Amino acid sequence: MNMQVAKNTVVTLDYSVADPDGELVDPGKDPLVYLHGGYDDIFPMIEEAVQGKKVGESVVVKMQPDDAFGEYDAELVQIEPRKNFPEELQVGMQFEGMPEGGDEDEVLIYRVTEIADDKVVLDGNHPLAGMALVFTCTVTAVRPASAEEIEHGHVHGADGCEDEEDDE
């Protein structure tokens, strides 16, 4: 039976992401598995594009920064004293932190973009912020979502829900 992508199906996509010049920015090594139907598991434009598709069908979605990772925000770049960081520090390392004046719900991942003598430059923007992206994907599997997945609004692994902590 060849199911179509529809609300409350679990969809597996093989995908890759390129910039508008065709440079690969994400080769999509691992397939994307998500719950289809407006659960915010995936960008809405991609969800719209694969709606009604069957296994083996492909779509190409061109997204502006607003549709993807947002515009680049210069205010998310911070300069911190070098002494606040571990000795083993390299460009590309990531730290969790709060934007200045942010509240505790607003934890961002900051990437080290530069290390000067006694200063470290951190960037809280997503690496793909400010970029238009071309998302190419092929539907490789579609299955009905379980009642539990629909209730929780996301896909569960083979062993059930991975959000729940096992304290036993």
- Separation CA 32–CA 6 (nearest Å): 16
Cα 31 versus chain centre, distance:
12
Helix/strand/coil for 46: helix
User: How many other β-carbons are positioned within 10 Å of the β-carbon of residue 20?
Assistant: 10
Enumerate the domain spans of the chain: 9-67+129-152, 74-123
pLDDT of residue 34: 96
Q: Which two tokens stand for residue 164?
A: 């729940």
Helical residues (DSSP H) of the chain, grouped into ranges: 44-50, 147-152
Nearest to 38 by CA among 60, 61, 5: 5
Per-residue pLDDT of the chain (168 residues; tens, 9 = 90+): 579 999 999 999 999 999 999 999 999 999 999 999 999 889 999 999 999 999 999 999 999 999 999 999 999 999 999 999 998 999 999 998 877 766 667 788 999 999 998 999 999 999 899 999 999 999 999 999 999 999 999 998 765 554 444 333
| Angle, CA 77 vertex, CA 75 and CA 80 arms, to 5° | 125
Architecture of the domain defined by 74-123: Beta Barrel (2.40)
Three-class SS state of 75: helix
Residue bearing tokens 């969790």? 96
Q: What is the pTM of this model?
A: 0.77
Residue 165 has what pLDDT?
Answer: 41
Cα separation, 149 vs 94, whole angstroms: 31
Query: Hey, how many other C-beta atoms are within 10 angstroms of the C-beta on 99?
Result: 15
Write the CATH number of the domain with boundaries 9-67+129-152. Answer: 3.10.50.40
